[in-house]
Structure 1
């Protein structure tokens, strides 16, 4: 690793991997390096999805995080750069077979050791069989004679205990693919939560963020990529003299469409429930099939939260998060919008939220922006605007409200 990159410090940790701040050894350029341990097929599948999506976007859009390179870790200190367009064969096999595929040489050696051990054990058992036959017969007689005196059923001794998990792990040997390392551009402004909530509200800045997110999602959908986990945590910020540049990141749950049909991008349907509670669309909450329009709902929640500075505290934490919600009951229990709409498709959302905004309060959105937000948060996915329409709709709404 030191020959290519220098790791400085850990800057983030999630369910699947760790992100470090680092530098390129030759140029000194600051980068973000994400380590994804390849410990099971389920995680490996997510990693390959993320790699595939990031390669598809390459460095072609300023509002999508750029992937510089991908490295495959094959030993404690061994890294191998992956060629563009190539996927690690063993990792693909692991996903298809449902178990981690190991180094054939290691597996062959372990199999040979296992076969040798089995032959030794068999010979030993044959040798001992004649010597222990009388002892076993005597043991059975003693057991029968004591059975009438026993009031508690006795479990027979397990003469062939299962091999311990620890010994199995030792015999399996080291993994061929220990981890994937993704080297990406570094964003010095943190995520969207950290950036916006650490500053006083600024309408112009908020509108810039919303427009940039429109462009990012339109670009992704144009490539047939559905993100499926759009939220402020997955939007990173680069601070520039001209203002913040936001970048959509974390493509672990993303899916790519199957391609073009008669020159038009296919509208792929998905069924797996995934995403983050406060941003998931009602059709996802309801366990229905859904399309890329679920991303538009997630964007609607984010836009509403950014424009009105609506926040909530995630359960078990004290960190404020940008996000909209519905209050249930007198206790003020917060219900995600998608969940509320999946239970009641005719639910009327109150935009602007007024008293539920976090101080200091920005000016509430105008009527045209409120109408757009309601369209993006429609319970019917087909009633939501398409990604390629969003930027024009936002610009039109802002212009109309400014008058």
Structure 2
């Protein structure tokens, strides 16, 4: 990126936030399109988010079609660049790790530190943009549910809890859609809040059960947060809740307006008078509250309705895990031809 012979050519900026800037880029040798995320490591919180994303994506040993793939990560200090690897003994990498752990800059603040993530390029925007610019489609709904449940089962199998599942963080790749009857590919992205559950204190030979890995940092986005996340004691079942909110909103096209960006976003909620309240927050206040599903449509297939209710259960133990969820959605999609979306 910064060398005598750059490996990538940045074409245009496609996204920007407080966390970093995303560019569409070309690989010089092959002309393949990639996404390049540039993160300025000038604050401990930026470094922590970047390292979380790097640790999660670099911990995955195999690829999944519905999870964003990290091609490589490059660390830049002023004019010097080096490829970053997990567990590296590089002094630059260790300074970033120390910064994340201590919550204060552990390197010369006068130097310009950047992390560059090279990932899949998704040409169809995010799930909000894609769905809300099209008429509701039963076929698309079915495809998206199956892809999302497959991605989540894969992540949980790889001991990764995403912690910020929402339509903004689900990207659409249309480049492989050659026939009109094929649906686009979804890719779960943005792993800045993710947590890789390690086997510390357990038998390292046995896989970690993410549903028994308890976390205490309340993080995520309000409208998709499970009730237990608001309290700060939760497991991977919080991801199941977030996906329940997304699927319910997708099937019924339930949206709200984000107060900061003024954008229309897919997301389910509970009405309390004139206020709209996140489902998780409402369930925290009243765990016995009965959710009105469907809320807009006249009817919904009984199996789908029951599954959404279970995914949004106030008690995380009453929710299916990611593997059961994937199996049940496959059954609903292929064995019940009469369900109404």
1:294 aligns with 2:238: yes
Larger Rg: 1
Q: Secondary structure at the match of 1:354?
A: coil
1:273 aligns with 2:208: no
- Tell me the equivalent position of 2:167: 232
Output one character per residue of 1:268-301: Cα deviation in whole Å (capped at 9) or x when no partner: 111111000110001112x141001000000000
- Tell me the equivalent position of 1:98: 103
Distance between the aligned counterparts of 2:252 and 2:81, measured in 1? 46
Distance between the aligned counterparts of 2:80 and 2:325, measured in 1? 46
Distance between the aligned counterparts of 1:288 and 1:52, measured in 2? 22
How far the C-alpha of 1:345 sits from its partner, in A, is 0.2
Output one character per residue of 1:356-399: Cα deviation in whole Å (capped at 9) or x when no partner: xxxxxxx8531110000000000000000010111211122343
Greater Cα offset, 212-221 or 32-41: 32-41
- Tell me the equivalent position of 1:304: 248
Q: Secondary structure at the match of 2:184?
A: strand
- Tell me the equivalent position of 2:196: 256
1:384 aligns with 2:327: no
Does the Cα contact within 8 Å between 2:55 and 2:86 map onto a contact in 1? no
Of the candidates 75, 78, 81, which is equivalent to residue 79 of structure 1? 81
- Tell me the equivalent position of 2:292: 350
Does the Cα contact within 8 Å between 1:228 and 1:275 map onto a contact in 2? yes
CA gap of 1:288–1:3, structure 2 versus 1, over 3 A, is closer
In structure 2, runs of 5+ residues without a counterpart are none
Does the Cα contact within 8 Å between 1:280 and 1:338 map onto a contact in 2? yes
Distance between the aligned counterparts of 2:256 and 2:294, measured in 1? 16
Q: Secondary structure at the match of 1:230?
A: coil
Of the candidates 334, 338, 341, which is equivalent to residue 402 of structure 1? 338
Bigger proportion of residues as helix: 1
1:246 aligns with 2:186: yes
Of the candidates 334, 339, 364, which is equivalent to residue 281 of structure 2? 339
1:314 aligns with 2:314: no
Q: Secondary structure at the match of 1:382?
A: helix
Paired residues for 1:109-258 under 5 Å: 174-175=110-111, 178-239=113-174, 240-241=177-178, 242-258=182-198
Output one character per residue of 1:79-134: Cα deviation in whole Å (capped at 9) or x when no partner: 3222465371221122234322225xxxxxxxxxxxxxxxxxxxxxxxxxxxxxxx
In structure 1, runs of 5+ residues without a counterpart are 104-171, 356-362
Output one character per residue of 1:243-269: Cα deviation in whole Å (capped at 9) or x when no partner: 211010000000011226473424211
Distance between the aligned counterparts of 1:215 and 1:289, measured in 2? 25
Q: Secondary structure at the match of 1:265?
A: coil
- Tell me the equivalent position of 1:60: 63
Output one character per residue of 1:316-355: Cα deviation in whole Å (capped at 9) or x when no partner: 44321111001111x2x11110010011001111111116
- Tell me the equivalent position of 1:154: none
Does the Cα contact within 8 Å between 1:57 and 1:64 map onto a contact in 2? no
Does the Cα contact within 8 Å between 1:372 and 1:397 map onto a contact in 2? no
Does the Cα contact within 8 Å between 2:149 and 2:326 map onto a contact in 1? yes
Q: Secondary structure at the match of 2:327?
A: helix
Q: Secondary structure at the match of 1:349?
A: coil
Does the Cα contact within 8 Å between 1:351 and 1:370 map onto a contact in 2? yes
Query: How many matched pairs?
Result: 322
Output one character per residue of 1:209-235: Cα deviation in whole Å (capped at 9) or x when no partner: 001000000000011100000000000
Greater Cα offset, 7-16 or 393-402: 393-402
Distance between the aligned counterparts of 2:246 and 2:114, measured in 1? 33
Does the Cα contact within 8 Å between 1:369 and 1:401 map onto a contact in 2? no
Does the Cα contact within 8 Å between 1:35 and 1:179 map onto a contact in 2? yes
1:12 aligns with 2:15: yes
CA gap of 1:317–1:37, structure 2 versus 1, over 3 A, is closer
- Tell me the equivalent position of 1:323: 267
